[in-house]
């Protein structure tokens, strides 16, 4: 007989040690019924329980290949949505804390994107001239919007390949929600900065003139990652003055000026792989989330490698920090008792169109 659903209040003030004991007990009861996914940016006290680790798309793809009934995603909301879209019908995606969102994803919502599309339609033949491309760090309904309008999804590792595909079909790209990834991708393709315009969704016509819209090859949504915007060129200059032989690697969500000064630019997976494959006794300055940097520093220390965080201030993904031992213990214990909590379920009409945009990306990349 099933027990009653356990309310989170019982766990809210629970000491971490008790939570860890209950997490282990619940996982033992669940066995392979649940697979636990942890994004690279996840806090260490939760990351330790991961069955699978990596970036958001990799995790969703791997989880869909398991026979686990429950996909417990220790990440943020859009990641759990992708897991739901890509998983088998019988699998259930769960986010331990529904408040774990993404500030960047929140900067582009469907109403604003649809308004942008209408306004662009006053100047251009949007369906013939503009390819909508959304970064995977976006809500499911924006992925569905791209699916409905001949567009596509990209990740930080395949953005260049996806942009090439989009330009082969239409002359312009509307890229959202991260202007920095879009700008760096355009620059790598040889598009001049003057041909990349920022669309401000809070201003009429994005704050652009009709001439600017007609001229733009790449329309960049005015959005950013609150973590990666903290990194500044001055941090790199200080590092190079102190360690002339040091190497700098940055995520493409960093500003254009930071990426320009870095020796390497790439996704979280690229950052991890590059540093792990580097020669022993090298020193690195890394521009991405703190939990990943600290974990990577520990892993490569035995090889004499020194890994430093780029910003002088603590800079972590505050929303992902919401997935703590208390929420994880509550989630797993409920599952072990037969109760699903915090299920993420994308509506069917959105799921089909979002999957279309995701499938286009997977076919291209």
C-alpha 95: how far from chain center: 15
- Dump the DSSP string for 143-176: HHHHHHTT-EEE-TTTHHHHHHHHHHH-SEEEEE
Question: Residue 198 pairs with which residues in a beta bridge?
Answer: 220
Q: What is the CATH number of domain 9-100+319-346?
A: 3.40.50.10800
The predicted pLDDT at position 247 comes to 98
pLDDT tier at 57, thresholds 50, 70, 90: confident
Neighbours of 12 (CB within 10 A): 10
Distance CA(44)–CA(48), nearest Å, equals 6
Q: What percent of the chain is modeled with pLDDT above 90?
A: 85
Residue 250 has pLDDT above 70, yes or no: yes
Q: Identify the CATH number of the domain defined by range 228-309.
A: 3.40.50.10800
DSSP codes joined into one string, 108-152? S-HHHHHHHHHHHHTTS-HHHHEEEEEESSS-HHHHHHHHHTT-E
CATH topology identical between 9-100+319-346 and 228-309: yes
**Contact predicate 74/328, CB 8 Å:** yes
Could you tell me the sign of the dihedral formed by the alpha carbons of 106, 220, 288, 75, in that order? Answer: positive
Phi-psi label, residue 331: left if phi above 0, alpha if psi -120 to 50, beta otherwise: alpha
Give 218-243 pLDDT, tens digit per residue.
Answer: 999 999 998 899 999 999 999 999 99
Structure confidence by residue, pLDDT tens digits, 198-207: 999 999 999 9
Nearest-CA neighbor of 225 among 196, 195, 259, 272?
259
- Kindly list the domain boundaries of the chain, sorted by start residue: 9-100+319-346, 105-225, 228-309
Per-residue pLDDT band for 1 (boundaries 50, 70, 90) equals very low
* pTM score, whole prediction: 0.93
* pLDDT tens by residue, 259-272: 999 999 999 999 99
d(CA 340, CA 92): 9
Beta bridge mates, 344: 93
In whole angstroms, how far apart are CA 214 and each of 58, 113, 116, 150?
37, 18, 14, 20
pLDDT at 41 (0 to 100): 85
**Of 16, 5, 103, nearest in space to 327 by CA:** 16
The CATH fold assigned to 105-225 is Rossmann fold (3.40.50)
């Amino acid at each position: 007989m099933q027990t009653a659903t356990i309310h989170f209040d019982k766990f809210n003030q629970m000491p971490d040690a008790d939570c860890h004991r209950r997490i282990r007990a619940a996982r033992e009861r669940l066995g392979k019924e649940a697979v636990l996914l942890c994004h690279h940016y996840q806090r260490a006290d939760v990351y330790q329980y991961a069955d699978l680790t990596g970036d958001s798309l990799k995790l969703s793809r791997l989880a869909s290949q398991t026979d686990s009934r429950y996909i417990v995603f220790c990440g943020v909301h859009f990641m759990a949505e992708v897991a739901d879209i890509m998983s088998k019908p019988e699998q259930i995606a769960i986010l331990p804390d529904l408040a774990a969102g993404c500030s960047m994803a929140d900067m582009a919502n469907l109403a604003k994107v649809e308004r942008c599309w209408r306004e662009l339609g006053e100047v251009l033949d949007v369906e013939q001239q503009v390819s909508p491309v959304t970064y995977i760090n976006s809500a499911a309904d924006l992925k569905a919007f791209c699916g409905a309008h001949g567009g596509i999804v990209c990740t930080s590792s395949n953005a260049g390949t996806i942009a090439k595909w989009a330009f082969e079909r239409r002359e312009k790209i509307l890229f959202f929600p991260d202007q920095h990834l879009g700008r760096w991708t355009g620059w790598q393709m040889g598009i001049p900065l003057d041909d990349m315009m920022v669309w401000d969704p809070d201003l009429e016509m994005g704050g652009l003139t009709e001439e600017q819209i007609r001229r733009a090859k790449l329309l960049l949504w005015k959005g950013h990652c609150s973590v990666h915007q903290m990194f500044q060129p001055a941090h790199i200059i200080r590092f190079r003055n102190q360690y002339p032989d040091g190497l700098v690697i940055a995520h493409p969500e960093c500003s254009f000026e930071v990426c320009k000064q870095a020796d390497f630019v790439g996704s979280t997976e690229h950052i991890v792989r590059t540093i792990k494959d580097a020669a022993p006794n090298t020193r690195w300055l890394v521009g991405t989330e703190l939990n990943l940097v600290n974990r990577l520093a520990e892993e490569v220390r035995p090889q004499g490698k020194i890994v430093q965080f780029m910003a002088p201030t603590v800079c972590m993904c505050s929303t992902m920090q919401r997935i703590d031992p208390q929420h994880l213990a509550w989630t797993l214990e409920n599952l072990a008792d037969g109760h699903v909590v915090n299920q993420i379920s994308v509506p069917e009409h959105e799921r089909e169109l979002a999957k279309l945009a995701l499938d286009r990306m997977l076919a291209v990349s």
